[in-house]
Amino acid sequence: MPRSSGLNYKFGNKEWRQKRIKLEREAFRAIHTDSNDSVLAIGKNFSHHLKNNYGLSFAKNDYLLNGLYFKRYQDFINKKFDVSKLGKFGIKINKKSKIIFSWGRASVAKGLKELLEAWEDIFEQLPDHHMIIQAPNNSGESDYFQQLKNYEKRLPRTFVINNFNPEIWQTILRTQNTDIVCIPSTMDPNPHTAIEAKLFSIGMNYVVISSNVDGVKDTYALNECLWANPRRRKAFSNIILQAAKLEEKARHTLNKTNKESLSAYDYTKTIRTFLKQIKFL
């Protein structure tokens, strides 16, 4: 059950990556020749990459929808926070401020640099907004993390937080000043961040902007978010502006449709369904 592949995620040391691809090809070939084995894909979008890059095939039960154990987050999704709550994380902004938020490890796969590039083009048009990115430097891509910090230094109203603490993103997603939540992944099978944004949006008023170039597409339907290609800088900037101007009624509709589809990502249900599909239960 691979969560990434060397041919799909083209970054990192070239020699290391080529070795990875060689081992992946050998492993997939061995699985393919054994009738008792199969490769499971995290989401149908990622399966297309595995088909095209490695010649794999998938039966109807060879997909596993990513998800969360909802009860683990119950304390947070029953609360709403004032912006002053963020002070303990070093984020001090006034009560009238609005927040654009994204989170994930500091990796090229997460599209955070693309988000900051888009923000660089429009921050003057959104004087009440602050860009907050929680990007712990724990992926081995320190040069990439430094690029993010360089944007923080030169752009006003910008925070790049090097802290893994999940309380940070959970609090921001339940902060009433949070206006836009971005999932700009460029190379993810089906990231948890997209599902977390869906879960934490219950009763909130933020708009989700989702990447349309990779596995985030397995989490959102067309009427549940705004879509953007993070690699197209000008278009991405325009989508952020569109989200900031979205009327209350449209926001309510997006959040309502997310709530209606949420149960599909509850691991207590999806794992049981999957185990039945493979006749384990």
Question: What structural domains and CATH numbers belong to the chain?
Answer: 1-64 (no CATH), 70-264 (3.40.50.2000)
Residue 208 clears pLDDT 90, i.e. is over it: yes
* Separation between Cα atoms, residue 272 and residue 169, nearest integer Å: 28
Residue 98 CA neighbour count, 13 Å, CB half: 17
What pLDDT score does 198 carry? 97
Question: Mean pLDDT throughout 272-276?
Answer: 82
* Separation between Cα atoms, residue 147 and residue 145, nearest integer Å: 5
Q: What DSSP element (H or E) covers 261?
A: helix 248-261
Q: What DSSP element (H or E) covers 180?
A: strand 178-183
Torsion on CA atoms 68, 71, 75, 79, rounded to nearest 10? 70
Top-confidence residue, 72 or 276: 72
* Separation between Cα atoms, residue 218 and residue 194, nearest integer Å: 9
To the question of pTM greater than 0.85 for the whole model, the response is yes
Question: Mean pLDDT throughout 54-76?
Answer: 87
Q: How many CB atoms lie within 10 A of CB 132?
A: 24
Contact assessment for residue 80 and residue 174, using Cβ atoms and an 8 Å cutoff: yes
Span of 31-45, 110-124, 152-166, 174-188 with lowest mean pLDDT: 31-45
Question: Mean pLDDT throughout 154-181?
Answer: 97
Q: What DSSP element (H or E) covers 277?
A: helix 267-277
Residue 159 clears pLDDT 80, i.e. is over it: yes
What pLDDT score does 269 carry? 85
* Separation between Cα atoms, residue 57 and residue 277, nearest integer Å: 17
What pLDDT score does 49 carry? 86
What pLDDT score does 277 carry? 74
181 falls in which pLDDT band (50, 70, 90)? very high
What pLDDT score does 80 carry? 96
What pLDDT score does 169 carry? 98
